[in-house]
């Protein structure tokens, strides 16, 4: 690549690196990812660079910042949208707004591995590049661990756990009502607490493949739980975007409910996302996560980022009914349950995000879900002195 193209690639990469909740350094790996996705298309690189001052722009603003005529702006933006780098949907008032997307949560990585993959060498190479990027981020975290703790503690909840409501036998899981009035802002509206309620809110629903399980398969590490993959949901404006770009396909409410039931049968965790982590806003998506492949949980376990989650439930174990079989401990995605010296399961409240998977698979129906708005925050393990 000549010097001019390389400089444009570096500038465009720098813009993407600054987006989202997880900032990345402008590294050779980051540049290689953008080059893999965009190629040598200098106009697309220039359009990405046009977002350097403002990450969301109207057509008029993007024409001014890029120097391209309106027709070309729309054409280039459409091409970059299909590559998972620009979100191109109208806002609530009908005005078209273009937003540059981050590398991940939620952006390029998720969209690139959300569609139906073919297992090509290019897909595998892109998966390897993203894996190296996360490993480099882990090194950065571990090298500056103590300095990063205040920043970690200021992070908003990345996602929200929506609990399963039925046991594997089809019985309703017991819900223990909150015992006292919660201290929350007056304007706070409690978001939907079941996937059924969320699905009923939307006319536009789309489903794609789990990008985490697909990416791990490309890396030669298929899901050990053999969980289904076609269960990554988007709603409303996000659904229209994923369908338009070919990342997902539209489904009816009944089809969505059937897929959610399949996910629960597999022991997957419902994780809802809200725009800007603002839970007062309608959900944009739901992931159905396995303990084995989920990026959010793996990045926490391997020492890269904290686990920051919002939840309205906490698992509570009936010690008289518990037989210490260990089914809950094996299923718990955050390792929040252990069997004590008396052979009884115990829950670490600081690590439980109330997904209800333990309750669903408890053979003795010994686990209930206690209501109460909580933010679960767990630092990544410190791996170096």
Task: Please report the domains of the chain, with CATH numbers, ordered by start residue.
Answer: 3-146 (1.10.10), 147-378 (no CATH)
Would you state the torsion angle of the CA atoms of residues 48, 52, 53, 56, taken in this order, to the nearest 10 degrees?
30
Is pLDDT larger for residue 233 or for residue 385? Answer: 233
Whether 153 and 246 have beta carbons less than 8 Å apart is answered as no
Span 136-162, pLDDT tens digits? 999 999 999 999 999 999 999 999 999
Span 18-65, pLDDT tens digits? 999 888 999 999 999 999 999 999 999 999 999 999 999 999 999 999
Cβ-based neighbour number of residue 152 at 10 Å: 16
What pLDDT, on a 0 to 100 scale, did the predictor assign at position 185? 54
Q: Average pLDDT of 230-246?
A: 97
Alpha helix positions (H), the chain: 3-17, 28-38, 42-49, 59-66, 70-81, 108-112, 121-143, 145-153, 195-200, 211-218, 236-244, 253-265, 295-301, 327-331, 357-361
Cβ-based neighbour number of residue 98 at 10 Å: 24
CA angle 138, 301, 133 (to 5 degrees): 30
Question: Is residue 183 scored above 60 in pLDDT?
Answer: no
Instruction: Give the whole-angstrom CA distance, residue 155 versus residue 143.
Output: 19
pLDDT confidence band for 280 (50 / 70 / 90): confident
Question: Is residue 88 scored above 80 in pLDDT?
Answer: yes
What pLDDT, on a 0 to 100 scale, did the predictor assign at position 58? 97
Question: Is residue 188 scored above 70 in pLDDT?
Answer: no
Q: Average pLDDT of 107-134?
A: 97
Instruction: Give the whole-angstrom CA distance, residue 269 versus residue 355.
Output: 6
Instruction: Give the whole-angstrom CA distance, residue 97 versus residue 73.
Output: 12
Span 310-323, pLDDT tens digits? 999 999 999 999 99
């Amino acid at each position: 690549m000549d010097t001019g193209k390389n400089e444009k690639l570096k500038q465009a990469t720098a813009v993407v690196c600054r987006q989202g909740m997880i900032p990345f350094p402008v590294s050779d790996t980051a540049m290689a990812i953008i080059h893999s996705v965009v190629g040598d298309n200098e106009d697309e690189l220039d359009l990405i660079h046009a977002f350097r001052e403002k990450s969301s722009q109207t057509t008029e603003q993007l024409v001014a910042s890029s120097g391209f005529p309106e027709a070309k702006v729309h054409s280039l933006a459409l091409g970059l949208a299909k590559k998972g780098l620009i979100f191109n949907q109208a806002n609530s008032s009908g005005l078209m707004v273009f937003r540059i997307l981050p590398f991940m949560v939620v952006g390029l990585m998720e969209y690139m591995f959300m569609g139906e993959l073919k297992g090509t060498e290019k897909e595998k190479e892109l998966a390897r590049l993203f894996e190296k990027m996360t490993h480099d981020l882990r090194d950065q975290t571990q090298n500056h661990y103590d300095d990063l703790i205040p920043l970690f503690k200021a992070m908003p909840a990345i996602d929200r756990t929506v609990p399963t409501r039925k046991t594997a036998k089809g019985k309703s899981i017991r819900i223990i009502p909150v015992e006292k009035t919660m201290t929350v802002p007056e304007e706070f509206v409690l978001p939907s607490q079941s996937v059924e309620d969320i699905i009923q809110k939307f006319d536009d629903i789309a489903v794609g493949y789990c990008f985490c399980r697909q990416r791990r398969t490309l890396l030669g590490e298929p899901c050990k739980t053999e969980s289904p993959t076609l269960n990554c949901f988007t709603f409303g404006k996000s659904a229209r975007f994923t369908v338009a770009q070919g990342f997902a396909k539209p489904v009816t409410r009944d089809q969505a409910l059937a897929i959610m039931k399949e996910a629960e049968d597999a022991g997957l965790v419902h994780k809802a996302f809200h725009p800007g982590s603002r839970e007062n806003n309608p959900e944009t998506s739901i992931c159905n996560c396995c303990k084995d492949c989920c990026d959010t949980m793996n990045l926490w376990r391997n020492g890269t980022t904290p686990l920051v989650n919002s939840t309205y439930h906490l698992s509570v174990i009936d010690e008289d009914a518990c037989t210490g079989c260990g089914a809950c401990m094996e299923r718990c995605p955050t390792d929040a349950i252990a069997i004590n010296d008396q052979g009884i399961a115990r829950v670490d409240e600081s690590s439980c995000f109330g997904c209800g998977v333990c309750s669903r698979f408890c053979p003795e129906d010994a686990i209930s879900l206690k209501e109460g708005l909580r933010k679960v925050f767990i630092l990544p393990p410190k791996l170096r002195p």
